[in-house]
Each structure stands twice: as structure tokens, then as C-alpha cells.
Amino acid sequence: MVCVKETLNSGAKEEVITGAFKSRLAENFRAVEGRIVEACERAGRSRSEITVIAVSKTVDAGAVAAACELGQVDFGENYVRPAQSKIEEVRQLGATGAKFHMIGHLQRNKVKDALSIFESLHSLDSIRLLEALQKHLTGRGRKFPCFVEVNVTSEGSKYGVRPEEAPGLVEAALETGAVEVSGLMTMAPYVAGPEQVRPAFVRLRELRESINNRLGDAVLKYLSMGMTNDFEVAVEEGATHLRIGTALFRT
């Protein structure tokens, strides 16, 4: 049993990772999995098309290691420095198969460190960030997977390019030869009912189709969209990567 303390969602108490905690965690993962499967069935999709990224920014290494024991592989972090120490602790706890993805806004001065610890970036949101990535990727011999973040609802509080700017950023990323443009990402508005965010997911899917048609090839394979409050609607509208935190780690 992993005996380390971890802080759960904001405001929660610290607790030791016990058998009881692991049992609750397993229940959460089973419940989320069941909801994903049902959403896939409604949409006529295969469950194998969906990657769940467990958003681990509010939990520490012990909880991540416990999730790994349940078979979870992919984890999402919002900040580089806290992720660096957490990832090291996760490795020390034996969860060597865990993969971490940068899902928050990436500052240009943190690019070098981010490239050393993350498997992908879900928040490429500017030419300037692209230039910083290219600078540090040149000569590495491998492309780095990135999702272009799109602010489909034009909310002032959110990062991401406007929909009309996305094609240009995708093309610029392709031209670098250092970035693998995986797809598009968006964060839907936080609203009371998940059905209210469906238009945002539809718009991102249609934008991907438009860009692929414009470039003459299906260069954008994936859609990173859907979180705890709306992931089922996201699955129904074509999401390939779900970023789920609270529904998995709450106790």
C-alpha cells in the first residue's frame, strides 16, 4: 500500500492513501468508464477511439500512483514546476508507465522544461509560443505533438486563438517541421447543463473538418474537448481526448 499524503480537490482534507481511498478511486473510474461507454453507444462510436487524460493538477503523487494501479496511463497537468516534482515522486513510487500532458497555458519561458517532462501540449495558442517550441525542438530529431487551442466562444477569460485564426496557426505549425499538429482543443463554458455546451463542441468539430478540407489532407486527427461536467456530450460530438479530473479523483 502506498503510504504518502496527498491533497485532493481544493478544500479537501489530507489523507493517507489507504485501501479505502483506493476503493473509492476505483469506483470513480468504473463510473466514468461506464458513462463513456454509454455515450459511445449513443453516438455509434468505438470506445477505443477515446483517450482519457486524468487531470491530476489538484492531487499529488500518491493519488497518481494509485490511479496507475487501476490502469490509468495518461495524466494532465496545468503548471510546469509543480509537475516536475510530482512526476519525479510518481516515478519513485514505481508508476513508471505514467505519461503526462501539458493541458494548461504554457509560458514561453517554461517551454524548455515542459519539453523534458511532457508527452504532448494541448494548449498551443499563439505564434510566439510556436516559435519558442521550434527553437527548443530544433535538432531533437523528433516531432512534439501539439493541439491548437481554440477559444470557440470568444470568452475573454480563456486562452486560445479565435476560430478564424486557427487555420493560420495550424499551417504555421506544420511549416516548422518540429511540431506534430495532433488536433484541436477547446474548453467549453462552465454552465449548469451539459447540453448548453454542445454548440461549442460542434463548432470545434466543424472547424477541424474545415481545416482538413482546406489543407487537402486529414492532418488534424484529434479533438481534445470535454471535462467532468460535459464529457458525455463531448464524446457524442466526436471528442477523442477527454480531460477529466473531479469525477475521477473526488472522494
Q: At what angle do helices 61-69 and 80-92 cross, to 10 degrees?
A: 50
> 193 pLDDT exceeds 60?
yes
pLDDT at position 11 is: 36
pLDDT at position 15 is: 41
pLDDT at position 199 is: 96
> 9 pLDDT exceeds 50?
no
* Domains in the chain with CATH codes: 5-249 (3.20.20.10)
- What pTM was estimated for this model as a whole? 0.91
12-15 long-range contacts (CB < 8 A, ≥24 apart) are 12/251, 15/251
pLDDT at position 92 is: 96
> 8 pLDDT exceeds 70?
no
Percentage of the chain with pLDDT > 90? 82
Burial-class residue 13 by CB neighbours within 10 Å (0-12, 13-18, 19+). exposed
Angle 45-24-61 from CA coordinates, rounded to 5°? 90
Instruction: Using DSSP, state whether 83 is helix, strand or coil.
Output: helix
Torsion of CA 227, 228, 233, 235, to 10 degrees: 60
For the stretch 142-192, pLDDT in tens is 899 999 999 999 888 889 999 999 999 999 999 998 999 999 999 998 888
pLDDT at position 239 is: 98
Mean pLDDT of all residues in 24-48: 98
203 closest CA partner among 248, 162, 152: 152
